[in-house]
Amino acid sequence: MLLKAELHCHIEGAALPALVTSQAEKYGADVSAFIRDGAYHWHDFSSFLAAYDAAANLFRSEEDYAALAETYLTGLANEGAIYSEFFTSPDHAERAGLSPQAYTAGLGEGIVRARAKTGIEGRMIVTGVRHFGPAAVEKAARFAATCGHPLVTGFGMAGDERSGHPRDFVRAFDIAREAGLGITVHAGEFGGADSVEAALDYFAPTRIGHGVRTVEDPDLVRRVAEEGVVLEVCPVSNVVLGVFPDYTHHPFPQLHAAGCRLTLNSDDPPHFHTSIGHEYAVASRHFDLDEAALTAVTCTALEAAFVDEETRRTLLSRLAEAEAAQVVAE
């Protein structure tokens, strides 16, 4: 099986409807507003975010989060993934009544359990939610910088990128960067190329979440390629949320041809009826990536991962060995 790596998945958004339904039974809650016939039910970005928030609210204990991360990562490993970074959101945990520390400890325990079962490596990127405002994002950054959890290696910002001015979030990113965390930020999904440019100028990230609307500005495409900024592309999310009408209008091939460094990711997999395996299959079918090109995508993800150099070397060796074995088999 082709080896894969994922850098962009929101852990609350990875909860399968069946798991959320069983959590609702445990806590005596009603999911009929956002889960119908065993699937998530929403119709636009705002109602998607509402469904996401409602599902997140049903994970309330350290063990709930350990089971969520373990389930998610085990499924990922079964599809050939050797590495995963997922986004955490202390704000969502606090809204569900759990401290950021217990939330992070639970998710970390899930990573350890999944690694013991499957060998998959995992790391966490703490995120602030942009539409919760600059104070909330700064609080998330302070938590990321001081929590001391060895598997927290990055900081990012998700949520509605059209909310607030970038300058108001600069301090949060400075706090995280000074603590030695890797930096990524959602931009160029519902905002255009100017949103990506502002994210680069104000936050100096090494990666951009989505970033696909970079394609709207040829100068910015050149800048992203030249500076080696890695885009965490989520093709299925983009089409399901209506950022592009279909795969023939998706800019992956154009950005790839321009020399931008791209990765493939599932974002919020059950909300978009996707998985890491499906994203790679979509890229193969619609963007004409052969096995060597897909392996290069995995390699880019490992190069851009927020991990220590020894772990990176180990992961890159696993990928190189699998590729060599594939060549021998052919």
Q: Which is nearer to ligand ADE, 10 or 207 (CB)?
A: 10
308 marked among binding-site residues: no
Smallest distance from ligand ADE to CB 196, Å: 14
9: left (phi over 0), alpha (psi -120 to 50) or beta: beta
Residue type at position 240:
V
For residue 175, the tally of other CB atoms under 10 A from its CB is: 21
| Residue 13 near ligand ADE by CB under 6 A | yes
- Among 52, 65, 143, 252, which residue interacts with ligand ADE (rule: CB under 6 A)? 52
Helix axes 134-146, 170-178, angle to 10 degrees: 0
Binding stretches for Zn ion (CB under 5 A)? 267
Residue 237, contacted partner among Zn ion, ligand ADE, none, CB below 5-8 A by kind: ligand ADE
Residue 268 counted as an annotated binding residue: yes
- Count of positions on this chain that bind ligand ADE (CB under 6 A): 10
Instruction: Verify whether residue 189 is a known catalytic residue.
Output: yes
Closer by beta carbon to ligand ADE, 121 or else 268:
268
Nearest partner of 160 among 133, 139, 138, judged by Cα: 133
- The answer to whether 91 is a known ligand-binding residue is no
Q: For 93, how many CA atoms within 13 A lie in the half-sphere containing its CB?
A: 28
Torsion over CA: 144, 129, 115, 233 (sign): negative
Establish whether 8 is an annotated binding residue. yes
Active-site residue, selected from the candidate residues 6, 70, 161, 189: 189
Which one of 3, 5, 7, 10 is in contact with ligand ADE (CB under 6 A)? 10
Please give the Cα distance from 70 to 262 (Å, whole number).
Answer: 27
Geometric angle at alpha carbon 121, from 117 and 127, rounded to 5°: 120
State which residue, 13 or 17, has the beta carbon closest to ligand ADE. Answer: 13
- Which DSSP category does 259 fall into? T
Q: Which is nearer to ligand ADE, 15 or 315 (CB)?
A: 15
**Pick from ligand ADE, Zn ion, none: which does 52 bind, CB < 5 to 8 A by kind?**
ligand ADE
Is 165 marked as a binding-site residue? Answer: no
Alpha helix (H) ranges present in 57-192? 62-78, 90-95, 100-118, 134-146, 170-178
Question: Which chain residues interact with ligand ADE by CB under 6 A?
Answer: 10, 13, 52, 158-159, 186, 189, 237, 267-268
Which residues are the active-site residues? Answer: 189
Binding residues for substrate: 268
